[in-house]
Chain A
């Protein structure tokens, strides 16, 4: 344990130039975004291109994107802790931490989007039990609590090991653990059991409550027939799995590259395959969604599809969602020359994440371009500079929280703790 603490000490002091640049640029982005956030808070939603015809825009798209990332990351972690896929344990705690950060980012986007952000507590106080959105807000709170508790239990052993370290990591470890915390066979067993219990509670919470529910927000709206299908919440959950797996894969590869650590090639390749498997299910469900939509001959639905695939946003559908987000990654993972190449898989993972951003925009925006009532004006929406910069600022905030958390908390799986599991 002494050696471990020493190694930690060295690590704390070694802040490379690249790391400083990374933190510095994030702070700059956050500051620039902060200016636009203040502008938005002072002048209200007039700073956006939103209107009463397209009341939801980029921030809502980003909100569902990050909720999806969170749910996907969490579900990936439950594959490890509940279903015993310990070959992925290296990214288990990272997955939980990513899930927490993504929820913080998602809720910040919602806060930005509220016309009256200062009244956000109303959503907790006045609970309209027939409103999906009201349920979602409560689910989010329970979900974040569960994530934090689960992350704590997952880190507990490493925190106890870190206690003697004489640096900030050690200080935080001492703050977070009790003086008499120990690691014995008994606590190991207890932690494992709790991880499993929380994971089991978390799975329905994440699927039905958090992300299926976020899909249901849209699916229950009878006025917008393109959303109004039973398959819609399921697609949300599956695409969450796609984006969550892709994001963790990307984070893992980038982190090992930056820290020049030994990369687990087998895990990367297998995770890449899993990501593509989820992507296939996602595409299949979407195919049926469109097929039923076309045969339904419902004018609003057809109009919506026409705008999605042939309107001013078709570049987002064909270019981002389909080509970059599906065709290219599938090709990379299956093509012999790239399927074993870590860099290529990294590109595939990043492209999948970007593709899912496209998916979220294509859900939110085109449905509001079609007039809700025939004869009313059609919507016209593209985010303003303010909307983009606020989004950049919130994104930078998320990355900053992630980077700092990654520095201060023992999120990496240490070899000695892996040995005990016996993969």
Chain B
């Protein structure tokens, strides 16, 4: 007669086949007791006897104590959104940059910037004295600072920081006082004087770039954004459709990396914390989110 397998029978089988949890966890440098009780509670969560919020609440502080900086997960909110959203950042590897300026070209054609305005520039400098000379290329988009000096000074709140870290301009509100250009330590902003490539490039005025997702159509005389200040926006319109900024995509040396600085596993986060990483004028306290690798 076939004997019915009871729970204790299954346990006996499992004890023989599955390695002992306590012994296994003792080999890891982390707390055994924490692992055991988390596993117990995890089963409760799966069985529906415990909700995920209280699970996180119960273990959040002990996990932080146990794993420190390595533990970055926040408890999910009731509505499902996480507290830390994306924070866009860029890493530029100066060893890989060859100074070809294709980022500038890509930027200009993507954003259709008029003469005198380029959201991205590459500074080229020769350092040292012969024979110890080096040529340094420094590509500079807007740094999208954590504490942007331009946002501080704008009298009409026309420039502000989005939740995803991008510093934007509301060209329909900007009065063109140019205080932000004065205040920017990186020279990342330009005033639109209304010039155009129309003379050398037929139909330049017909289409404008959908900056900040706003289709403005034809570039007319005295029409916004003319008379206001413009700047790099990490190609927000491209990010919205899942593409990288034009300068990142086009870089021939693969020197530019783009991603979420809030995600500790993203390439940019890892590179930003490498010993090669540095930020421009970091002593000013603006907190630039474009990070360079020397």
Contact = CB atoms under 8 A, between A and B. Distances in A.
Interface of A: 43-46, 50-53, 55-56, 110, 113-116, 119-120, 122-123, 125-128, 130-134, 137, 217, 220-224, 368, 371-373, 375-376
A53 B182 contact: no
B230 to A, nearest CB: 9
Contacts of A132: 153
A223 B183 contact: yes
A116 B175 CA distance: 5
A371 B187 contact: yes
Contact of B177 (A51, A113, A125, A372): A113
Contacts of A126: 155-158, 173
B189 A131 contact: no
Given A52-B191, A223-B183, A372-B185, A114 B176 contact: yes
Contact of A56 (B152, B178, B184): B178
Contacts of A114: 175-177
Given A46-B195, A133-B155, A375-B138, A52 B189 contact: yes
B194 A46 contact: yes
B123 interface: yes
A211 to B, nearest CB: 18
B228 interface: yes
Contacts of B174: 115-116, 119
B175 A120 contact: yes
A53 B193 contact: no
Interface string B136-155: 00101000000001001111
Contacts of B181: 52, 55
Nearest to A43: B194
Q: Chain B binding site: helix, strand, loop or mixed by DSSP?
A: loop
Given A46-B193, A372-B187, A375-B125, A123 B176 contact: no
Interface of B: 116-117, 121, 123-125, 138, 140, 149, 152-158, 173-179, 181-187, 189-195, 222, 226-229, 280-281, 284-286
Nearest to B226: A44
A372 B194 CA distance: 23
A373 B194 contact: no
Contact of B175 (A56, A122, A127): A122
B193 A137 contact: no
Nearest to A133: B155
A131 B116 CA distance: 27
Contacts of B117: 52
B178 to A, nearest CB: 4
A376 B125 CA distance: 10
17 contacts: A44-B226, A55-B178, A110-B177, A113-B177, A115-B229, A119-B173, A119-B175, A122-B156, A122-B158, A130-B152, A131-B155, A134-B156, A372-B187, A373-B140, A373-B185, A375-B138, A376-B187
A45 B173 contact: no
Contacts of A119: 173-176
Given A52-B190, A128-B157, A375-B138, A115 B185 contact: no
Given A45-B176, A133-B179, A372-B187, 18 more contacts: A52-B117, A52-B181, A52-B187, A113-B177, A115-B174, A115-B178, A116-B176, A119-B173, A119-B174, A120-B175, A122-B156, A123-B156, A134-B156, A221-B149, A221-B183, A373-B140, A375-B123, A376-B187
